[in-house]
Amino acid sequence: MGHGGPGGGRGARISSADYEAQRKINASAPRIEGLTQRILALFKPYRAAIAVMIALVFVTAALSVWPPIITQRIFDDALFPAGGVKMPLLVQLLLLMVGLLVVSSLLGIWQTWLTGRTGNRVMGDLRVKLFDHLQEMELAFFTKTKTGVIQSRLANDVGGVASVLTNTVSSVVGNTVTVIASLVTMLILSWELTVIALILTPVLVLVQRRVGQIRARVAAETQDSLSQMTAITQESLSVSGILLSKSFNRGRDESRRYAQENDRQIRLQVKQLMTGQGFFAVVHIFVSLMPAIIYLLAGLFIEGGDTSITAGTLVAFTAVQARLLQPMMGLLRVALDLQTSQALFARIFEYLDLTPAIRDAPDAREVDESHLGEISFEDVSFRYPDASPNDRPTLDSVSFAIAPGEFVAFVGPSGAGKTTVGYLVARLYEATGGAVRFAGDDVRALAQSSIIDHVGIVSQQSYLFHASIAENLRYAKPDATEEELREACRQANILATIESFPEGFDTVVGEQGYRLSGGERQRIAIARVILKDAPVLILDEATSALDTVSERVVQEALDEASKNRTVVSIAHRLSTIAHADRIYALEAGRIVESGSHRELVAAGGLYATLYAEQQVTDEDEAPAALEPVAS
């Protein structure tokens, strides 16, 4: 369709072009700033739950200070006092330690539940927010962007930040409080040993920042690879994709393409996994060896006459120092995760920052139902967003008026702008010049939803969900009764066919309706539009892909659906619009002639030429259709 349509045929495989188009869309998005503030804002609706979580963390951390101190007392005051073992005190201290552990464990379970519930709700909110925003994007966005890439943003990118959303708050607060509590305890026990134990900590923090920067870059590349894999899967394993690959025997090539991206994904996943492992190994070795260093230094202190370091102090200090390993490693890992997740959050916010090209005006109003069916173009011009400045406009100063109840058709060669007229009537695209009027008002002054509520569209390739016939029909009217379904199907000339199926209206149509014939799919789509009962009907080459027999049956259904409605027909087969009230012939984006079928044939212009060519084609094809197939 050239620039007469939004994006070419379905299933196009020009990956580099798709990627470049996506890059341009992303580059046009506003620069993402204040990423940390935006992430924190996601938690705002759950402030009460987070406050409880933080309180639990503080209580648990406070309780964790006491076991080492109790351990010191067990050794110095109960097991090895000057007068021998003191069993009553030992039992009391042990019971106190067990009680603290039980309470801490119960509080930990509550904290884990709150953390998981809050984090997953935040992640769910983010996913729904992104989905809602994508629903608002204009049609042009989806013609430029691979479906798989969009799916990857919803699944892989949001899923990639799941651990950050679910664990960050409790992990940061919990580990920070635990580290502080442990340090306080260590200082109480021995400030000299504490200074020695923490002497290399600043160096570890600096190294961690550098490792985090590297992991963030690898994470961004990994998510891009996941997007490409999702896109390949969506394209190749859809019904249309499988049919295409089998038709051209390209199954092995598709597998090879997937395998190549999969190999890249594996390399990136391994790289992301291993980045920082050496750093954490050094940290682990350092912290694990610290007790040995403490014992050695303690021996030197005691040998030098320091009597403040007792056996209980040493045991308690090394116990606390060992407990310091997990929260320190946790904080370092959270810091790395936060740096890594920034790349994923940036990709998510990049989509959220895209501004829909078509938006309702602040004072947008509903369609005036007293003028339903009135449609007019006033010097309308249009150029698709991705068109080159040197290309001619798709529509150039087009004007016409349609009265309620009229049947008006638009014809012309490929790329003339016929389909674009239908898009502009429904405001799926915005005119770049002039005014499109619907029910007497400029469409820019009307609410988009109100326009769509009054328009029914039947396209050449009507989409059916992988669901039952009844569910597909009720997409137009969720509360439709069974009788309403039957009446719509009767008018669409498909009722008898549906009733012949063993499961009737409960028959599952398959992916995109591929379990049905082309004519059956189209008639179900027409029944769905009839059920919507919109006063304006747009027929976009609704029969051009059908065989002669199916075309005749579908055309009868369309004729029935067109009764008492304003019809805008984008026609390829001119025989389907011979009875139109008025026909507009488009060429190079301009209306070159208009009139009835009889008038235009007699005029000998563009329409007459197109009609004569189609007559010759039909005559040439008719005998061929009757020839027997050679065995």
Ordered by start, the domain boundaries in the chain are 2-352, 364-452+579-622
Region label for 144, one of left (φ > 0), alpha (ψ between -120 and 50) or beta (otherwise) = alpha
Q: Which pLDDT does position 626 carry in this prediction?
A: 34
Q: Fill in the DSSP letter of residue 171.
A: H
User: Model's pTM, two decimal places?
Assistant: 0.69
431-to-137, 428, 540 alpha-carbon distances in Å: 16, 10, 19
Q: What is the DSSP letter of 533?
A: T
pLDDT at residue 298, rounded to an integer: 77
Instruction: List the one residue out of 318, 235, 297, 225 whose CA is nearest residue 13.
Output: 235
Structure tokens at 147: 């479906």
Are the C-beta atoms of 384 and 21 separated by less than 8 Å?
A: no
Across the strands, what pairs with 539? 458, 569
Query: What tokens were used for 249?
Result: 């025997």
Instruction: Determine the topology of domain 364-452+579-622 in CATH.
Output: Rossmann fold (3.40.50)
Q: Which residues pair with 593 in a beta bridge?
A: 585
Residue 196, SS3? Answer: helix
Residue 29 backbone zone (phi > 0: left; psi -120 to 50: alpha; other: beta): beta
Q: What is the pLDDT of residue 57?
A: 78
Strands 407-411 and 582-587: parallel
Please tell me the distance from the alpha carbon of residue 33 to that of residue 433, in angstroms, as a whole number.
34
Tell me how far apart the terminal alpha carbons of the chain are, to the nearest angstrom: 38
Nearest to 500 by CA among 510, 489, 511, 491: 489
* 188/191 Cα distance (integer angstroms): 7
Could you identify the residue written with the tokens 């964790």? 64
Domain 2-352 top-level CATH class: mainly alpha
Please tell me the predicted confidence (pLDDT) of residue 21: 43
H or E segment and range at residue 397: strand 395-402
Residue 1 confidence (pLDDT): 38
Cβ density class 41-57: b for 16+ within 10 Å, e for less: ebbeebeebbeebbebb
Q: Quick one: which H or E segment has residue 56?
A: helix 47-73
Distance CA 44, CA 51 (A): 11
By the 10 Å C-beta count (0-12 exposed, 13-18 middle, 19+ buried), 363 is classed as: exposed
**What is the C-alpha separation between 360 and 174, in angstroms, rounded?**
46
Distance in angstroms (rounded) separating the CA atoms of residues 168 and 331: 10
Sequence-separated (6 or more) residues with CB below 8 Å from residue 603:
593, 595
Crossing angle for the helix pair 251-274 and 201-236, to the nearest 10 degrees = 170
Instruction: State which H helix or E strand residue 45 sits in.
Output: none
Which pLDDT score is estimated for 243? 61
Name residues of the chain where pLDDT drops below 70.
1-33, 163, 167-170, 174, 197, 200-213, 216, 234-235, 237-244, 246-248, 276, 279-280, 287, 306-308, 322, 325-326, 329, 336, 339-340, 544-547, 616-631
Burial state string for 286-318 with b = 16 or more CB within 10 A and e = fewer than 16: bbeebbeebeebbeebeeeeeeebbebbbbbbb
